[in-house]
A = this chain, B = another copy of it.
Amino acid sequence: MPGGRPRAFDAEAALDRALEVFWRQGYEGTSLSELTAAMGINRPSLYAAFGNKEQLFRTVLDRYFASPGAFAVEALEAPTAREVVERTILGAVELTTGPHTPHGCLSVNSVHACGPDSDPVRQEVIARRMAGEAALRRRFEQAADLPAGCDPRVLAQLVHTVTDGIAVQAASGRTREQLHQVAAMALRTLFRPPS
């Protein structure tokens, strides 16, 4: 019975374009005109396919964590806490300094919301960040190679703080090589060879 005119664009590809723009300019910094121009569709098509700007951003956020940000959950599978931390921090450097993606982290950028109207988006991003850190903490609680007297909760917060700092540094223009040196030093001091 149904049918209808087929859509003339690829929704997945359009979401990738939207991700690129949101990643580079943030939620409030991206206008609908920029979105439609980048996605190659016009405004009513965007609203019909993705709801409104906020819903589109949430969909893009899912896509971000599912594919470029997947390293964060994959790192939890490493056998030792030492390797979990290493893969998390090095993954953050790779993610935020990719040669074909905007520098910085979509999630971290969106924490610095801006106007009061984008507070729902801000809260959603913060909730996802907290969930990721909680997973990291649970992983540390089950680790056997933590330094003596090391609180898994505080360690998770510290690692999260370092990855956040890496994202800010990348957004400030720091190169991948420089951040690799920073990451190496952080790992060297966090898990020092047994003395």
Which positions in A face B, CB cutoff 8 Å?
A: 25-26, 28-31, 104, 108-109, 111-116, 118, 126, 129-130, 150-151, 154-155, 157-158, 160-169, 171-174, 178, 181-182, 185-186, 189-190, 192, 195
Contact = CB atoms under 8 A, between A and B. Distances in A.
Main SS of chain A's interface residues?
helix
Most chain B C-beta atoms within 10 Å of own C-beta, residue among A116, A162, A172, A192: A172
A154 B181 contact: yes
Kindly report how many copies of this chain are found in the complex they form together.
2
A172 to B, nearest CB: 5
Contacts of A113: 25-26, 29
A90 to B, nearest CB: 14
Given A126-B173, A165-B163, A168-B111, A185 B154 contact: yes
Most chain B C-beta atoms within 10 Å of own C-beta, residue among A154, A160, A168, A182: A168
Given A151-B181, A157-B178, A161-B165, 16 more contacts: A25-B115, A29-B118, A104-B112, A108-B112, A111-B168, A112-B171, A114-B114, A126-B173, A150-B185, A157-B174, A157-B181, A157-B182, A161-B169, A161-B186, A168-B168, A192-B192
